[in-house]
Amino acid sequence: MLKVDHKLSISGWSVDSSQDAKTELVALETFTSLDSPVNGCRVVLYAPPSAQPGLLQQAVQEIGSEVGLGSSGGVTQGFSIKVRGQQVKFADTISIELTAGDQSSTIMTADVQSIRSSFGVTEIYGTTGMQKLSATRVNQVYSNQTLNQIVSDLANQAGVSTGNIENGSTYPYFVVHESKSVWRHIRQLAEVEGFDVYFDSSDQLNVSDFQKTSADHTFYFGIDILGLELLNVDAPVTHVMAYGESPSSSQGTDSWPWIAKDLSSYRGEAGQGGRLLALEDRALRTKEAAGKFATAKLGAIKDHSALGRLKLMGAPQVNPWDSFEVKSAKQPELNGLFKITSVRHVYSKSEGYLTYVVFSGQGGAQQAGSALGQLAGQLSGALGL
């Protein structure tokens, strides 16, 4: 049985179960995912109000307020509650760290978004920068900017910190408009490049190319794993064609749309066969960019032809975008290297600590040829894809 400890801080209030087992924390749950705007946490506290002052003290406070003593000068404060005498309000930073055995990690950094109070417990809900991106809409045009420059500027306008942002391609012309959220625009750029969009445990935005060829974590059947499911499906698409705004590669990236009788010289293409997916994206201004998009899209489709769920004893070291390997499973198709796409940590004093993982067959949106693509091909062969 793993010994589980927690550290939790919200604004000026904090608890550490390794120092005091009788903390206010009753339960907590966190959820993080690639390409999802619903990342967040739920913290359940038993935080009864402090003892009320006596009648004499209440009378003194009333007199003081009437003459203006101890008041805030009429300034209205936003909604807040008190936990162990410390004020907790909207937008306060939540930091959650969990320890299971010898594994310890910060599993989430978020901001207070809502508070639910009842006679029994108080529930505090936090959200990450993903929600800031989803709520922000801007109207702006970028000219001759890289993906890194565009994403970094959009994140700054949304008030979001950034981690690793790949440099990516240079876009001669990219329009951001208020009909779509900043998050959707960033996802559009990442999809064209074959990158993942996610927030790490420090609440920093990352737009990164998954090129891992070895496992960040190894889990053994009968030791770490409580449950494992893997669904393999025949990929619905084997052939992707991508078209940009214009066949501009023959005239350079500064050219503007014109009509050609035959678009075969200007489109990007990956795979083959009759199960065809045709895509159009105005951000694609060259044949090379269209080809890169088609390759990334086909790679992502193949990647998601193997999807699974994993249930573990508490594993705070696990994060989205990590790779992991399953070993010693009785069914050979359950063993192999996979990419984590979402993680849910659930802890309560009554039921303990569990980690739920959703994963795909193999990370990355690159076709066979790269080291990752070759590894994905080997895995697909082992799984019978």
Say if CB 47 and CB 83 are below 8 A apart. yes
What is the C-alpha to C-alpha distance for residues 21 and 349, in angstroms, rounded to an integer? 10
Say if CB 165 and CB 149 are below 8 A apart. no
What is the C-alpha to C-alpha distance for residues 10 and 40, in angstroms, rounded to an integer? 14
Whether 106 shows a pLDDT value over 90: the answer reads yes
Q: In CATH, what class is 217-233+305-383?
A: mainly beta
Residue reference for tokens 């503007």: 256
**Model confidence pLDDT, tens digit, residues 201-254:** 999 999 999 888 899 999 999 899 999 999 988 888 889 888 776 544 455 555
**Which residues are paired to 162 by β-bridges?**
205
Q: What is the pLDDT of residue 166?
A: 96
Determine how β-strand 13-16 pairs with β-strand 4-10: antiparallel
Q: What is the pLDDT confidence band of residue 256, given thresholds at 50, 70 and 90?
A: low
Q: Domain 132-208, what fold?
A: Phage tail protein beta-alpha-beta fold (3.55.50)
Q: In what order do the strands lie in the sheet with 276-280?
A: 268-271, 239-243, 276-280
Whether 193 shows a pLDDT value over 70: the answer reads yes
Stretch (H or E) spanning 205: strand 205-208
Q: In CATH, what class is 4-51+81-127?
A: mainly beta
Within a 13 Å sphere around the CA of 383, how many CA atoms are in the beta-carbon half? 26
Where do the domains of the chain lie? 4-51+81-127, 132-208, 217-233+305-383, 239-302
Q: What is the pLDDT of residue 12?
A: 81
Mean pLDDT across 158-180: 94
Mapped onto helix, strand or coil, the DSSP state of residue 298 is helix
What is the C-alpha to C-alpha distance for residues 6 and 25, in angstroms, rounded to an integer? 9
Q: What is the pLDDT of residue 284?
A: 73
Q: What is the pLDDT confidence band of residue 66, given thresholds at 50, 70 and 90?
A: low
Question: By C-alpha distance, which of 195, 207, 194, 172 is closest to 242?
Answer: 194
Q: What is the pLDDT of residue 60?
A: 57
Residue reference for tokens 């494992």: 228
Residue 190 token pair: 């990442």
Determine how β-strand 306-313 pairs with β-strand 276-280: unpaired
Neighbours of 333 (CB within 10 A): 13
Find the farthest-apart pair of alpha carbons in the chain and give their distance in angstroms, rounded.
91
**Model confidence pLDDT, tens digit, residues 297-353:** 888 888 888 899 999 999 999 999 999 999 999 998 899 899 999 999 999 988 899
Mapped onto helix, strand or coil, the DSSP state of residue 150 is helix
**Which residues are paired to 63 by β-bridges?**
none
Q: What is the pLDDT of residue 265?
A: 66
Q: Residues for the chain: how many in total? A: 385
Residue 111 token pair: 């901001």
The two domains 132-208 and 217-233+305-383 share their CATH topology (first three levels equal): no
Whether 289 shows a pLDDT value over 90: the answer reads no
Q: Which residue has the higher pLDDT, 147 or 301?
A: 147
Q: Which residues contact 79 (CB under 8 A, 6 or more apart)?
A: 89, 90, 115
Q: What is the pLDDT confidence band of residue 280, given thresholds at 50, 70 and 90?
A: confident
Q: What is the pLDDT of residue 62?
A: 63
Say if CB 56 and CB 67 are below 8 A apart. no
* Global pTM value: 0.81
Say if CB 120 and CB 47 are below 8 A apart. no
